Amino acid sequence: MRFAALCARHTGSSFPVTRSPAIGGIIIASAFAVFQMFGYHSYALPTANNDVYRYTVQTYAATGISSAEVTHRAAADWCGSRYRNETASRRIEGSVDAKPNPGVYSGCLDWLTRHDATTERYKKIFYARPGYPFIASLVAPLTGVWAALWVVSLWFALAGGALVIVLIRLAGGGTRAAWVGEILFFTLPTGSMSVQRLTDGPAVTIILATLTGAVLLACRRALLPGVFTICGALTLGYFVRYSSFTLLCAALLATSLVCLVRRHSRHAGTVVLAGVSSAGLAGITVGAHLMGWPGVSSTMQDTFTNHFKQPDVADPVHQLVRLNIDFWSYLPWQNDTMAFLPLALCGLSLAALWRTNVTVAILITGGALTGVLTVIAHPVYGQHARLLLPIWLLPVLGLPFLSLQKNPTGVSDYR
């Protein structure tokens, strides 16, 4: 009810906020969930990759079974997915006789159980992300591990849609704008990638929760709700993928300092936001060090050594700069609209948010840019789409405001 009261401050009525957006949001989320459940059994899911296998291994391990059984069961799940996807791929490509090829499954299983050359240094990167597989292990007794990973991702995606509604209402958007934002969240890459068996979707939802707390502090001056929301979100984010939330804390600190320069957003809430962001940045960094989790240096070496299968490079920073130059000189032009579409949508979204609430525009832009920062830190072509995922939060939260009429009595108080 506290969120509803804050959202309704400029409307003068709590009923449209607490009832209408919630009912419409539940209908939209239910449609998305049903669509995903039908798609789950279609074997048209994205091809599983090694990251998915590693999360499957961790989830089995969290259930308490023996290490030998962990490897076998995770390999069976992962190879079964590859087997089904290989058959489905040949069918949709028009193969007349697309019969299942048992050799795909047996060959994959043999490679994983006997010849997997994954190094311990590479495994440590995933040991530093215990939150997602741990949550999945709690669901696994009901669904099995492979389905549990998908179920948890779906839950996070549905929670992300709800948080989009909350954020748009806090920023001054109406019921229809909130619904449009939720639909955009489910239809843009934020929806399709959030249901994969990876931490990218859960991380985006936790970023939305963190931004909710930031808006409560910097725009609504709701100190306790804002602090509790940010601290809770960052704590969860630390265990899901701490590297992303290190960047997010740095981005929030920078945006809060920008807000403090502006007279209209210079108040106790913004000061608290700067303090919480600083504390979060220090806490996550120190906590990761104390846990022995890999740092920036290990991430760079992972990029340049084929997951530590080759000797470490002598100057990883120089190599990272060189790779970024090559990466960004190629990526935007690899097809005609690759760069134009997201840039155009982000530009329109930023303009719409800026016209509505400058402080919200600054905060959301900072959160969205963590996707770009992540790709700069890990500029690998095959991974860029999912690493860039937070950038789509700008269109999700900004495009619904394109047709919003300014309400000088309701929004200008916290611009």
Give the pLDDT confidence of 380-393 residue by residue, as tens digits: 888 888 899 999 99
Model confidence pLDDT, tens digit, residues 278-328: 999 999 999 999 999 998 888 888 888 877 888 888 888 999 999 999 888
H helical segments located in 144-222: 145-170, 175-187, 189-192, 200-218
Q: What is the DSSP string of 360-399?
A: HHHHHHHHHTHHHHHHHHS--GGGHHHHTGGGGHHHHHHG
- Cβ atoms of 252 and 214 within 8 Å: the answer is yes
* Most confident region among 114-118, 215-219, 339-343 by mean pLDDT: 215-219
> What is the reported pTM?
0.90
Euclidean distance between CA atoms 220 and 227, whole angstroms: 12
Model confidence pLDDT, tens digit, residues 161-183: 999 999 999 998 999 999 999 99
How far from chain centre, in Å, is Cα 355?
Answer: 26
Give me the pLDDT at residue 332, please: 76
- Residue 278 makes CB contacts below 8 A (sequence gap 6+) with 249, 253
- Cβ atoms of 61 and 70 within 8 Å: the answer is yes
**Would you state the structure tokens that stand for residue 269, as one six-digit string?**
């809430």
Model confidence pLDDT, tens digit, residues 186-210: 999 999 899 999 999 999 999 999 9
Pick the residue with more confidence: 305 or 49?
Answer: 305
Model confidence pLDDT, tens digit, residues 89-136: 777 666 556 667 777 788 888 877 776 667 788 888 899 999 999 999
- pLDDT averaged over the chain? 85
- Residue 335 makes CB contacts below 8 A (sequence gap 6+) with none
* Most confident region among 81-95, 108-122, 258-272 by mean pLDDT: 258-272
Euclidean distance between CA atoms 212 and 167, whole angstroms: 6
Pick the residue with more confidence: 397 or 11?
Answer: 397
b vs e for 81-110, b when ≥16 Cβ sit within 10 Å of the residue's Cβ?
bbbbbbbbebeeeeeeeeeeeeebbeebbe
Model confidence pLDDT, tens digit, residues 349-389: 999 999 999 999 999 999 999 999 999 998 888 888 889 99
Q: Is the pLDDT of residue 154 over 60?
A: yes
Pick the residue with more confidence: 264 or 218?
Answer: 218
Q: Which of 173-177, 231-235, 392-396 has the lowest mean pLDDT?
A: 173-177
Give me the pLDDT at residue 18, please: 46
| Count of other CB atoms within 10 angstroms of residue 354 | 17
Residue 394 is inside which H or E element, if any?
Answer: helix 393-398
- Which of 299, 226, 214 has the alpha carbon at shortest distance from 253? 214
How far from chain centre, in Å, is Cα 394?
Answer: 13
Give me the pLDDT at residue 337, please: 59
Half-sphere CA count of 57, side-chain side, radius 13 A: 21
Instruction: Name the band, by pLDDT with cuts 50, 70 and 90, for residue 12.
Output: very low
Half-sphere CA count of 173, side-chain side, radius 13 A: 28
Euclidean distance between CA atoms 182 and 140, whole angstroms: 28
